[in-house]
Amino acid sequence: MERKTNNNILVPTDFSEVASNALGHAVKVAQTYKNEITLVNIIDEGFFGGLFGSGNQAELVREAVENRLNKLAEEIESTHGIKVHKRIDSGRIYKVISKIANDENFDSIIMGSHGANGLEQVIGSNASRTIQYAEVPVVVVKNNNVGEGYKTIVMPIDLSIESRQKVDWGIHLAKQFNSEIHIAYQGSSDEFTNNRINANVKAVEHQLEKSGVKFVCSEIEDKLLENFATEIISYAANVKADMILVMTDTEPNLAERILGTYTQQIVNRSPVPVMCIHPKETAFTYYY
């Protein structure tokens, strides 16, 4: 089954430093895959009501945003030769981002993890919510410059069938960036569970090997005082990873709502860019 895409990367921007970092990643990806970029500035639904009462003032703010978008788009097009689209919208930031991406079949979303105050609306606090609503891949960037691309990718694997859906995306990236994928998993003291985990890992290794992708496989030590998300972040730092590739947790249980889901923990705490893949409802691994 082929995934529909408009060959366009959606990049929310509030003109902050982290938004600029995310845009740098989007430019690199667009150059690599011949994508176009859509810059979107979203004015939070409570912004005008709280700070600007009159229509004239609201129009001035919108005009200022439009001017900054135009300037930014011109810089990207002239420097990198990438086609850039611009749009301004309003509403709940994470809902607007997700709706645009889902309804218009965007290839992916690349966004910063936190923003600034005032006119530079905060978008980063919406990142963890965006990955819950968006049906397209979301790359969350903090203060990392893209450099030469995603040369080292950490890909955690667990027992879930959905966990293996990210493998095709790992291959998709690795073939373009000549990446090495680090399969990371956590064993179990229970023999039956451990055998299932090992079988899942072997299946992933076989798929990567068949695709000609470089990879290494590492078992993450099960420490009593740490959780898997913490261990993955630490492992990514140790191998100097350029990206962590995870599945989106769509239905957190009560404990996860309190502590934050596995994916949210990684997105919120990892200094390394995180690519989140929305799981597809199928009894088998979904292939793009």
Domain interval for residue 251: 152-277
**One domain for residues 157 and 61:** no
Question: pLDDT for 4-24, tens place per residue?
Answer: 789 999 999 999 999 999 999
Q: Which two tokens stand for residue 217?
A: 């496989």
Per-residue pLDDT reduced to its tens digit, 35-57: 999 999 998 766 555 555 556 77
Whether 66 and 102 share a structural domain: yes
144 against 22, higher pLDDT: 22
CB-CB contact of 90 with 121 (8 Å): no
Flag whether 164 is in a domain: yes
Asked whether residue 2 is assigned to any structural domain, the reply reads no
Q: Among residues 224, 243, 251, 61, which one has the least CA distance to residue 232?
A: 243
Torsion angle, alpha carbons of 155, 159, 162, 163, to 10: 0
* 96, 121, 141 - which closes a domain: 141
Residue 128 placed within a domain = yes
Residue 56 is assigned to a structural domain of this protein: yes
Residue 141 reports pLDDT greater than 90: yes
Domains in the chain, number? 2
Shared domain for 134 and 213, answered yes or no, is: no
According to DSSP, the residues that pair with 217 across neighbouring strands are 183
pTM over 0.85: yes
Q: What is the CATH number of the domain that holds 253?
A: 3.40.50.620
For residues 238, 242, 247 and 249, what is the CA-based torsion angle, rounded to 10 degrees?
70
The verdict on 200 and 137 lying in the same domain is: no
Q: Are residues 119 and 160 in the same domain?
A: no
pLDDT in tens, 172-214: 999 999 999 999 998 888 889 889 889 999 999 999 999 999 9
Per-residue pLDDT reduced to its tens digit, 57-114: 778 888 899 999 999 999 999 999 999 999 999 898 999 999 999 999 999 999 998 6
